[in-house]
Each structure stands twice: as structure tokens, then as C-alpha cells.
Amino acid sequence: LPKYEFILASRVGEKSNVGMIQLNRPKALNALCNALVSDLTNAVALFDNDSSIGAIVITGSEKAFAAGADIKEMRDLTFSSCISKRLLEELNLLTSCKKPIIAAVNGYALGGGCELAMMCDIIYAGDKAKFGQPEITIGTIPGAGGTQRIARSCGKSKAMEICLTGNQFTAQEAEKMGLVSKIIPADQLVAESIKLGERIASMSPVIVALCKESVNRAFETSLAEGLNFEKRMFYGTFATKDQKEGMTAFIEKRSPNFSNN
Ligand code: CO8
């Protein structure tokens, strides 16, 4: 795997089938400077195209998942420079990854850090994690999905309160709101997230990709269209060898041997 400046990337899990990305810019609490975002999107693309990898985990340090966009890089931006640089469009590439991405959040997930976690497919939080969208306190607003994704997963009142006050909220509150799926003691968070990645990586990759796409469709369309989309994807699974293998293995009382076909 390539060496990156602001992240560490490795293959983890008993079968080395989980791609691990650790944000590694400790001096700035993993603030998402442009170079870090490039490293991150490159590493995700590499794992997405690596057939030995079935799921990806993104984590930070115990102190910070990521403390947001880099405020020092942002201060002197202008409207026209944002347009010409297509600011934040690169980070959005993460959402086109076919493989499930798990955010393992310890410490601060603020601003762009919270948004990065919400771009992932599943969030596991350490018991001391702190979330928030503090942009309003520094004269801007969330720009990488915060207003939209919190509204969709937690409703309007929570989204408004979080985005308009900039107040931090705890892992426990985040779980209650449905933003994170599980809280784990901080020192076990990464190991548990890898286990989750291994569980997903034990499934058929092609079926996992169809399943992820179907769940994501729920956020993009009406219920009737989404149900139709899901049904077509479901029908589509019967064109794969892995569906035959999965059901045959069940009937023969053995574990399946998926092939990504
Ligand atoms: N940008 C740049 N540097 C940062 C950032 C940041 N977001 N956060 C922390 N740092 C730096 C500090 O400047 C400090 O550096 P130095 O030692 O050189 O002064 C170092 O990290 C340690 O930080 P603190 O001393 O502040 O550590 P504390 O433990 O006292 O406080 C906090 C931790 C509460 C997390 C505090 O650092 C903080 O409030 N950080 C800023 C949080 C914030 O406002 N984030 C939102 C940024 S705006 C944003 O994210 C826009 C979203 C658009 C999408 C972005 C996608 C990339």
C-alpha cells in the first residue's frame, strides 16, 4: 500500500479483508486539510478496487476522529475561489464507494468530521465520542452534508438545534437520535469495528454492493420508487452464482463459498 502523508492505510482482520484507514494528523486533531482529504479519497478508491477487501473502516485517534475542515486553510477563501476549486467535491467521492464504509468514531467528530462520519455507511462510536456541527460559531454553515444528513436521519428539530447552536452532543445522544448504531468502550472501538467489517466481508461482494445501493436509494427517492428499485435489485441477485451458492449452502447445511460472481 502507498505511503500517505496524513493517513495510515493497512489491510486488517484475520483474513486481511478489511481496509483500515486511520486519519493521522495529530497536531491538528485530524482537521481535514486538502492534502488529508486527497489521501483519504485515494485510499478509499484503492480499497474499493481491491478485490481482496470487503469493507473499509475509517477511524481517527482516541482524542479526535476529526475536528472539522481546516479552519486555517478556509479563512481566506472567497465565494469565487470555492467555485473555481470545486471546494468539498473531492470529499464527496467517498459516497460513490461500492463497499461499505464503517466510521469508528472516538473523541471529537466536529464539523467536517461529523459530516465525514455521516458519509460513511455505519457509525460506531466510542463511549466518549463528541459530535457537533460548530460551523455556525465561526461564521459559516455545514458544507459537506451536515444540514441534509442530520435532517434525514434525526428529523428537523434535532437538525436545526444541532446546526443552529453548534452545541456538541455525546455518543449516547447520537445513539438515541439514530445517528450511530452502537456505542462501544473507547479502547475496544476499533477492534469491534474491524469485526463488523469482517462480518460484512464474509458475504458476497456483489450482493453487498447491491444491498448498499438499495439502502442508499431510500435517501434519494420516494417509497414507491425505492421499493421498485429494491425489487429489481432483489430479482437481480438471482442472476448471480453467489445467490445459488448461498442458498445451496444453506440447504446442504454448510457455510457458503462466495466468489463475487
Ligand atoms: N482546523 C485547523 N486546526 C485545528 C482545528 C481545525 N478545525 N481543530 C483543531 N485544530 C488545531 C488547533 O488549532 C491546535 O493547533 P495549535 O496547537 O497549533 O494551536 C490543535 O489543533 C489542538 O487544538 P486545541 O488546542 O483547540 O485542542 P482542545 O483540546 O483545546 O480543543 C476542540 C479541541 C474543541 C476540538 C477545538 O480544537 C475546536 O473547537 N476545534 C475546531 C472545531 C470546529 O470548529 N470545527 C468546524 C470547522 S468548520 C467545518 O468543518 C466546515 C465543514 C465543511 C466541510 C468540511 C469537509 C472537509
Residue 227: band (very low, low, confident or very high) from pLDDT cuts 50, 70, 90: very high
Q: How far is the CA of 221 from the centre of ligand 1 (A)?
A: 35
**Active-site choice (60, 68, 111, 112):** 112
Q: Are 166 and 135 in contact (CB under 8 A)?
A: yes
Annotation marks residue 67 as catalytic = no
- Hey, do 7-201 and 205-251 end up sharing a CATH topology, with the first three levels equal? no
Annotation marks residue 135 as catalytic = yes
Q: What percent of the chain has pLDDT over 90?
A: 98
Which is the closest atom of ligand 1 to the Cα of 166? 44
pTM of the complete model beyond 0.95: yes
CA atoms within 13 A on the CB side of 85: 13
Nearest CA to ligand 1 atom 52: 112
CB atoms inside a 10 Å sphere around CB 32: 26
Q: ipTM of this predicted complex?
A: 0.97
Average pLDDT over residues 75-88: 95
- At 101-150, the pLDDT tens digits run 999 999 999 999 999 999 999 999 999 999 999 999 999 999 999 999 99
| Residue 257, all three cell numbers | 463459498
The 3-state DSSP class for residue 11 equals: strand
For residue 66, what are the β-bridge partners?
109
Q: How many residues does the chain have?
A: 261
249: left (phi over 0), alpha (psi -120 to 50) or beta: alpha
| pLDDT value for 81 | 96
**Active-site choice (43, 111, 135, 175):** 135
- 205-251 is classed in which CATH architecture? Orthogonal Bundle (1.10)
193-208 burial, b at 16+ Cβ within 10 Å, e below that, comes to: bbbbbbebbbbbbbbb
Which is the closest atom of ligand 1 to the Cα of 28? 21
- At 35-64, the pLDDT tens digits run 999 999 999 999 999 999 999 999 999 999
Q: Look-up: residue for cell 469565487?
A: 80
Q: Is 60 in the pocket of ligand 1 (CB under 6 A)?
A: no
Q: What percent of the chain has pLDDT over 70?
A: 100
- At 142-200, the pLDDT tens digits run 999 999 999 999 999 999 999 999 999 999 999 999 999 999 999 999 999 999 999 99
Domain chopping of the chain, boundaries: 7-201, 205-251
Residue 28 pLDDT exceeds 90: yes
The rounded distance, in Å, linking the Cα atoms of 193 and 199 is 10
3-class secondary structure per residue, 1-24? CCCCCCEEEEEECCCCCEEEEEEC
Q: How far is the CA of 50 from the centre of ligand 1 (A)?
A: 33
The rounded distance, in Å, linking the Cα atoms of 45 and 229 is 26
Compute the mean pLDDT over every residue in the chain, rounded to the nearest whole number.
Answer: 97
Intra-chain end-to-end CA distance of the chain, in Å: 26
Residue 261: band (very low, low, confident or very high) from pLDDT cuts 50, 70, 90: confident
Q: How far is the CA of 36 from the centre of ligand 1 (A)?
A: 14
Nearest CA to ligand 1 atom 19: 28
Give, as one character, the DSSP assignment of residue 8: E
Residue 260: band (very low, low, confident or very high) from pLDDT cuts 50, 70, 90: confident
CATH code that applies to domain 7-201? 3.90.226.10
